[in-house]
Structure 1
Amino acid sequence: MGVTALAACSSGTGGTGPTPTPTAASTFVVEGSVAVESDFVANMQADNTTLDGPCAVKAGYDDIKGGAQVVVLDAAGSTVGLGTLATVTLDLPDGTTSLASAFCRATFRVVDVPAGSDFYAIQIASRDPYRLTAADARKPVELSLGDL
């Protein structure tokens, strides 16, 4: 009695094999923050006076809030990463102690962004995408909106 081995081969077209998982070297993290002009009066009325506490953004920036979507796009304009803004908190410029100078800040972190694009763009909430080089996308990104 003989043993017969059978093997199926695929040319790679139409195969249903597993999708490769990106390796750590082929992905990176896009992280940073967006600083937004605050509403001084609204913050005073709400007693938002604690550093890193709640912060009311100025009218016109209401889309910048905790949970707002953060989209990372590649050079072709394709979505390559999704994240959200963390809670918007009260912050002060370095060396300042006056609440009149306060602004609002929200951080973001988008993991598993595929490497390989020459440029990337970050779109926060309904704002226009901010374009940056691949090298700059790997550094903490500091964006600002309003008169800061």
Structure 2
Amino acid sequence: MSSPEQQPHIPPPAADPETDQNTAAEEPAPAPAGPLPAPPDHPPTPSASRWSRLPRGAVFVIGVGLGAAVVGACWAGVSLADGSEEAFSTDGTLTVSGIGAGLASGDLCTGTDGYDDIDFGAQVSVTDAAGTLVAKGSLGLGEKTELGCEFSFTVDDIPPGSKFYTVEVSHRGGLTQTEDELRAGGLAFTLGD
């Protein structure tokens, strides 16, 4: 009897525990039972937002406008909640009587004869009922009039709400005015004879 050719027996490679774990992890999960849903004909496209369709400049302008609106609304809310009104201004004149002899009407003049502190730039102070300085202005140029030397003044940013205010030029003592009188302006003060 003839014997079949014998081939050498090669043992299978030894199992490597790390390889076996990787192989098990890489094996696909069993397919679910039942049919799978059909894939869509085309992949969904992301919809572009309205902002992305606008030019950059337009988005910037819209952002600035919205920011300004928010700041304005906050400012208005704080102002209304505070109950305060806007600051106001007043104006008037101070006349130093009996000076400027020899000057023609309309000529520039200054305070003299004990009124040397009354001149262009002299401080005009406004204090509230508590005696707190709340606003300052200054005298304008003096101009000769029939009564003497007249200086105009304006005081801005006077906060409202005081029962009364005192207006003082230089250190000459103050004159008390109501808020309505100050708001009306046209105040006329006189020093001297």
Which moved further from structure 2: 67-76 or 126-135? Answer: 126-135
- 2:123 is the counterpart of 1:69: yes
Moved over 4 A (4+): none
**Which amino acid in the other structure matches residue 127 of structure 1?**
R
Per-residue deviation at 1:25?
4.1
Amino acid at match of 1:65: D
Say whether the 8 Å CA contact 1:38–1:56 is kept in structure 2.
no
Matches within 5 A, 1:47-86: 48-49=103-104, 51-86=105-140
Render the CA deviation track for 1:47-92: whole Å, top value 9, x for unaligned.
x32x222124341111110000011111111011011100111012
For 2:182, the equivalent position in structure 1 comes to 137
Unaligned runs of 5+ in 1: 1-19, 93-101
What residue identity is the alignment partner of 2:93? S
Bigger helix fraction: 2
Structure 2 matches for 1:20-39, cutoff 5 A? 25-39=85-99
1:91 aligns with 2:91: no
- Equivalent residues, number: 112
| Contact 1:37 1:58 (8 Å CA) reproduced | no
Name the one with the larger strand percent.
1
Aligned partners of 1:36 and 1:105 also within 8 Å: yes
User: Structure 1: how far apart are the matches of 2:167 and 2:191?
Assistant: 14
Distance (Å, rounded) in 1 between the aligned partners of 2:152 and 2:98: 16
Does the 8 A contact of 1:37 with 1:57 survive in 2? Answer: no
TM-score by length of 1: 0.68
Q: Distance in 1 between matches of 2:116 and 2:192?
A: 12
**Fraction of identical pairs, as percent:** 32
Counterpart for residue 168 of structure 2 = 123
Aligned-pair Cα RMSD in Å: 2.2
Q: How much has 1:135 moved relative to structure 2?
A: 1.2
Aligned to 2:155: 110
1:76-130 CA-to-partner distances (Å, cap 9, x unmatched) read 11011011100111012xxxxxxxxx41100100111101111001110111111
Higher relative contact order (CA 8 A, sep 6+): 1
1: distance between equivalents of 2:115 and 2:123?
14
| Structure 2: gaps spanning 5 or more residues | 1-77
User: Taking structure 2 as the reference length, what is the TM-score of the superposition?
Assistant: 0.53
Larger radius of gyration: 2
For the residue of structure 2 that corresponds to 1:86, the secondary structure is: strand
